[in-house]
Amino acid sequence: MSERLISVVIPVYNEEINIRRSIESINNDSVEIVIVNDGSTDNTLEVCREYEAKYDNIRVFTQENQGQNAARYKAISEASGEYIMFLDSDDSYNPNTVSRVIETIEKYNHPDIIRFRYQMLPMNTVQDQYFDEQEKYVEKKDFRELVYPMFIDSYRLNALGMDCVKKSLIDSIGNEGSEVRFGEDMLANLKMFTKANDAVFLKDVLYNYIFNEKSTTKTNNKYKLASNLEDLVVILTRLYRYLIEWDLCTTENMTYIENKFKKETGVILTRLELKK
């Protein structure tokens, strides 16, 4: 396969129905699609192989079940594109997502990161804007003022699905986030944005996040909730360390993180209380 500008990576587990929507939403044969089947027990692999046989820009790999993060990094390791985009197997892109991202890459001379926005379906809730401008190019020297505060006082930069990132930058952070199963996206983004030289933030809503009551963040299994609580401690402790690295360790910022910790642990502890 000839090298393409962008590789879209899709980790998938038991999504034989939704994976069709995800693949077809990419709607652009100029990108490579790398799918890793993470030990599915339904017909997911057969569906993926069907698409692989039909389209020359789709590659499918399979492994024993190791979790979404392991499947994602496997897909990244197999990808050939200069850039990586992340699509969950039950989510989808808007029709113009890839073309809009390619346009941005070319306009800004291949920045390290392009970041767009999502809508949550079926509620039609739209993610908060990054900036008022339709698109904003930010250099490294301005990250302290304009980018890092978004990790502190909001959740706008947590998820990987709205990222298009140079593969070389992803490779440089190793398997960041692999030590947790809850919040792994935030750990990866923290390190990538810390190492990035520049980024473009789009006002465009290009990603469809499908609300799933069975996801890790919505689970009511007491053992998974306890594990989520442990992961939350890791994530917020790491965020404290980044405050020091970014030279943003102020009382105000420490308070923001403390309040985040109280809010998130409160949600988990409430669910654990209900399971008694």
The model's pLDDT over 110-168, given as tens digits with 9 standing for 90+, comes to: 999 999 999 999 898 999 999 999 999 999 999 999 999 999 999 999 999 999 999 99
Tokens representing 234 are 């890791």
Q: What is the pLDDT of residues 53-86, one digit of tens each?
A: 999 999 999 999 998 999 999 999 999 999 999 9
3-state per-residue secondary structure call for 122-173: CCCEECCCCCCCCEEEEEHHHHHHHCCHHHHHCCCCCCHHHEEEEHHHHHHC
Quickly state the pLDDT bin for 219 (edges 50, 70, 90).
Answer: low
Burial 7-25 (b: 16+ CB within 10 A, else e): bbbbbbbbbbebbeebbeb
How far is 50 from 35, CA to CA, in rounded Å? 12
Quickly state the pLDDT bin for 1 (edges 50, 70, 90).
Answer: very low
Quickly state the pLDDT bin for 216 (edges 50, 70, 90).
Answer: very low
Q: What is the pLDDT of residues 169-199, one digit of tens each?
A: 999 998 887 888 888 999 999 999 999 999 9
**92 within 8 A of 22, measured Cβ to Cβ:** yes
Kindly report the pTM of this predicted structure: 0.92
